[in-house]
Amino acid sequence: MNNESWRNWSREELDYQYTPSRWSKQGTPDEVIKHHQQWQAKEAKRVRESIECELNISYGMADDQKLDIFGANTLPRESPIFVFIHGGYWQVMTKEDYSYIALPLTKAGAVTILMEYTRAPKANMGTIVSEVKQGMSYIMNFAKRRESCGVYLCGHSAGGQLAAILLSVDWMAECMIPSSLIKGALLISGIYDLRPLVPSSINDPLKMTEATAKENSPITVMKDIIKQSKSRRIELVVADEDPAELRRQTDETWQVLKHAGISSNSTLIPGVDHFGVVENIIQESFQVTQIAIEMMGLNIGNIDKELKNTAV
């Protein structure tokens, strides 16, 4: 990304440019955050109680290296697998907050996996990226055992950065499974260049240097993403009320992918903010939900009747 105007901004300006709640038109920053947290808690609990799921499966030694898997015991073994990585600036939020993501996706026929990782300040960025790679190795083996037709990555906000990094990995070298098992990705309001965060207060718990921020930025490994994604479809979406910097980063990342010949799209989602763009995935008719379902070659059907078993 050649646009480095952020280098001229003060810490206060960087905080503003990278604080989504301050860009929302849905209320004051405090109101927006409070609503988001309350809505997620209610809907996520409801979904966990209504869909067959296995919770807190360990994929590593750390306490937070856990997966929640929805629909694995109900859907056909060959079903696609949709992997969601949550945001929260690598510091807040948990996979439990996003269980509602599984509702329309399992209904359409995708086994849905939510990944947790150790957050800052307990972990730095290098550790977080390493853990997510470890989680993905577990999922790749899980997909291979099931003979899944394909794995699809999804990340929101900070999770978009982590999902994009996973697209750069040579999984044959990592876990002896072909990278081609990953068929596509849906990156939602992601951060693909971490360097602007270094002088901001967002970085206080992470303590990234510019060197570590660059090392863990998808833009740095874009050549590897392109190399590994020749046969993948990559969908980037960003909310109309997202910060201008997130919209810029999304567009610039898509331009690189497009010019490299990667099957990709960049979509601006109207009428929603940074939080609504993920909350509304619970709605089958929502544009982002439809992108995910169509990317996997699925349709909303009657599968959900089979899924309404008691949660594990």
Alpha carbon distance, N-terminus to C-terminus of the chain = 45
Kindly indicate the confidence band of residue 68, based on its pLDDT and cuts at 50, 70 and 90: very high
Kindly tell me if the per-residue pLDDT of 219 is higher than 50. Answer: yes
Q: 115 has which bridge partners?
A: 67, 85
Residue 5: pLDDT over 80: yes
pLDDT band at 308 (very low <50, low <70, confident <90, very high): low
Q: Which amino acid is at 308?
A: K
Give, as one character, the DSSP assignment of residue 71: S
Domain boundaries, position 180: 5-307
Known catalytic residue: 179? no
Spatial distance between the Cα atoms of 131 and 60, rounded to a whole number of angstroms: 8
Q: Which DSSP letter does residue 12 get?
A: H
Q: Is the pLDDT of residue 207 over 50?
A: yes
Q: Exactly one of 36, 86, 156, 274 is catalytic; name it.
A: 274
Confidence at residue 301, expressed as pLDDT on a 0 to 100 scale:
61
Q: Check if the beta carbon of residue 286 is closer than 8 Å to that of residue 279.
A: no
| Structure-token pair, residue 296 | 């996997």
CA distance 128 to 311: 29
Who has greater pLDDT, 303 or 222? 222
| pTM of the shown model | 0.95
Catalytic residue among 24, 79, 148, 157: 157
Question: 214 lies in a domain?
Answer: yes
Query: Which of these is catalytic: 242, 266, 273, 304?
Result: 242
Residue 25 burial (CB < 10 Å; 0-12/13-18/19+)? exposed
Q: Note if 64 is an active site residue.
A: no
64: helix, strand or coil: coil
Q: Per the domain annotation, does 77 fall within a domain?
A: yes
The region that residue 265 occupies, defined by phi over 0 for left and psi between -120 and 50 for alpha, beta otherwise, is beta
98-111 pLDDT, tens digit per residue, is 999 999 999 999 99
Average pLDDT over residues 42-64: 97
- In angstroms, the Cα distances linking 104 to 12, 68, 251, 276 are 39, 16, 27, 16
What integer is the mean pLDDT of 186-215? 98
| pLDDT for the residue numbered 235 | 98
Per the prediction, the chain carries an average pLDDT of: 95
How far apart are the C-alpha atoms of 150 and 144, rounded to whole Å? Answer: 9
Give the mean model confidence (pLDDT) for residues 264-282: 98
Q: What is the pLDDT of residue 24?
A: 97
**pLDDT higher than 60, residue 16:** yes
CA distances from 25 to 31, 87, 215 (A): 11, 20, 34
Pick the closest to residue 252 from 143, 164, 163, 144 (CA basis): 164
CATH assignment of the domain containing 68: 3.40.50.1820
Question: What is the side-by-side order of every strand in the sheet holding 53-58?
Answer: 53-58, 66-70, 111-115, 81-85, 151-156, 182-188, 233-239, 263-269
Could you give the dihedral angle defined by the CA atoms of residues 196, 201, 206 and 212, in that order, rounded to the nearest 10 degrees? 20
Split at pLDDT 50, 70, 90, the class of 1 is: low
Q: What is the pLDDT of residues 156-198, one digit of tens each?
A: 999 999 999 999 999 999 999 999 999 999 999 999 999 999 9
312 falls within a domain: no
Chain centre to alpha carbon of residue 304: 23
Q: How many domains does the chain have?
A: 1
Region 29-47 average pLDDT: 97
Distance between CA atoms of 103 and 291, rounded to whole angstroms? 15
